[in-house]
Structure 1
Amino acid sequence: MDELELLKKDWKKGTSDYSKFSGSDIYTMLHKKSSSIVKTLFYISVAELVFWILISYVPYVFSDSMRERLESSYENPLFVGLSVLGFLVIFLFVYLLYKSHKSISTTDNAKKLMESILRTRKVIKYYVIYNLVMIFISIPLSLYFEFNQNAEFHDQVASFDSKQMIMLYAIVILVTAVFVIVIWLFYKLLYGILLKRLNRNYDELKKLEV
């Protein structure tokens, strides 16, 4: 059944709060709110992109030791590949949110608006999942890079007995879990509030027939 059919019964009953307004009025309000929410999400994504660029390059400019470590890391194709992939994903995320905002702001059809809202929700969902997976992978990889590039750390780990190695693995697992949880909570707070509002708009659009 078409989503817009869902309010036909409620609308005909005349019990909905929407009966005080015309369907066109309600749609206009939901359209405006949805466009504003996605626009805010787009600005947040741009701010996040700028933040990661600064995090990546400010230490390189102002810290000689960090510059040396980064330059040695860039000799590793895996590190370079993951760095490029990370920025490509963020750029893609920014582009998709911009596209969603344009789609929502220009549509004059409730069904298309609902489809744009669903696409926006999926884009954010997949982006958050990607970041959680990358955090899960990046900490063990960072330890691997450090082991191979830092001679002092390499010698220290090489001298560990089995108990110390178990302790090291436990610490890596714990730190990784903490980072994943913190990042998940951060994104839940950052995008969660706006997504809840967007979901409410979607649910209310399902009750309208324009």
Structure 2
Amino acid sequence: MDQLDILKQNWQSQTGNAPQFSKEQLGGLLARKSSSIVKWLFIIAIIEFALFIVLGLFSHFGNEENNTVELIGKPFYYGSMIVHYVVIVFFIFLFYKNYKNISTSQPTRSLMNRILKTRRTMKWYIWYNLVYMMVVGMIGAVLIIPNDPRISEVLNSPNFIGHETAFYATFLGLTFVMFLVMCVIMYLIYQLIYGILLRKLKRNYNELKRMEV
């Protein structure tokens, strides 16, 4: 049982002879715990951002031939990466701003709004990453088809002449399923990492809401 649970029990069961715990005390503790949770959301997002940069650089420079870049084209490859990094930096800024805006001295209603805003921002962040993976992955698959010599070799073989449309549909269908599975796995990872913190924020919000009643 943490400090918040103890203080809540004392506040709910206090009598005239017991030490009196005010709403301000409980609200202040909720604000400190919420600020700590938002700080961890901010830290984890930075770690995730740095990890993806390292993996991206390793993938790019680790492949001497840079097949992926050549197949999908440098404009799309570098353009999508730049846009993605800019958006992620923007989200990190929002997390930092949310963290700085949560104060132990702010009114309860204001604190509740900050918690709701933080939860919305994190949900947008999660869904942006999932949509980005799916959209960019599928566009990349479409760009690869006419540029991959292995695919051209298959299409020019006697068995596939006249069946190009079926091949494209099958290739894109399998690619879609592959990225869908990847998105589901990433969603589950996000739920494990960020979901725990978001549930704690929701719990703090519900406590503040009960105090307002």
TM-score scaled by structure 2?
0.79
Measured after TM superposition, the shift of residue 154 of structure 1 is 3.3
| Alpha carbons 2:98, 2:118 under 8 Å: kept | yes
CA distance in 1, matches of 2:72, 2:139: 14
Q: Residue 82 of structure 2 aligns with which residue?
A: 84
| Alpha carbons 1:18, 1:26 under 8 Å: kept | no
Measured after TM superposition, the shift of residue 118 of structure 1 is 1.0
Measured after TM superposition, the shift of residue 170 of structure 1 is 3.2
Measured after TM superposition, the shift of residue 81 of structure 1 is 2.5
Match of 1:205 among 204, 208, 211: 208
CA distance in 2, matches of 1:101, 1:107: 14
Q: Partner of 1:135: helix, strand, or coil?
A: helix
Aligned: 1:33 with 2:36: no
- Which amino acid counterpart does residue 99 of structure 1 have in structure 2? K
Measured after TM superposition, the shift of residue 17 of structure 1 is 5.7
Percent identity of paired positions between Structure 1 and Structure 2: 31
Q: Residue 18 of structure 1 aligns with which residue?
A: 12
Deviations 1:159-178 (A, max 9, x none): 54255444323312321221
Aligned: 1:193 with 2:187: no
Measured after TM superposition, the shift of residue 59 of structure 1 is 2.9
How is 1:25-174 mapped onto 2 (pairs within 5 angstroms)? 25-66=25-66, 69-70=68-69, 72=70, 75-105=73-103, 107-157=105-155, 159=157, 160=160, 161=163, 163-174=166-177
The alignment of Structure 1 onto Structure 2 pairs a total of residues equal to: 194
Structure 1 runs, 4 residues or longer, greater than 6 Å off: none
Q: Which runs of 5+ in 1 are unaligned?
A: 1-14
Q: Partner of 2:210: helix, strand, or coil?
A: coil
CA distance in 1, matches of 2:39, 2:144: 40
* Structure in which a larger fraction of residues adopt helix: 1
Measured after TM superposition, the shift of residue 138 of structure 1 is 2.3
Measured after TM superposition, the shift of residue 195 of structure 1 is 0.3
Q: Structure 1 residues 94-103 or 25-34, which shifts more?
A: 25-34
Deviations 1:82-110 (A, max 9, x none): 21111011101111000000001465221
| Alpha carbons 1:73, 1:79 under 8 Å: kept | no
Measured after TM superposition, the shift of residue 64 of structure 1 is 1.4
- Which amino acid counterpart does residue 95 of structure 2 have in structure 1? L
| Alpha carbons 1:107, 1:113 under 8 Å: kept | no
Q: Which runs of 5+ in 2 are unaligned?
A: 1-8, 15-20
Q: Residue 18 of structure 2 aligns with which residue?
A: none
Q: Partner of 1:145: helix, strand, or coil?
A: helix
Deviations 1:20-40 (A, max 9, x none): 332122112101110110000
Could you say what the CA RMSD is over the residues aligned between the two structures, in angstroms?
2.6
Q: Partner of 1:64: helix, strand, or coil?
A: coil
Measured after TM superposition, the shift of residue 76 of structure 1 is 3.7
- Which amino acid counterpart does residue 50 of structure 2 have in structure 1? V
Greater relative contact order (Cα < 8 A, sep 6+):
1
Q: Residue 6 of structure 1 aligns with which residue?
A: none
Q: Structure 1 residues 152-161 or 170-179, which shifts more?
A: 152-161
CA distance in 2, matches of 1:56, 1:167: 28
Closer, same or farther: CA 60–113 of 1 in aligned 2, 3 Å:
same
Closer, same or farther: CA 117–61 of 1 in aligned 2, 3 Å:
same
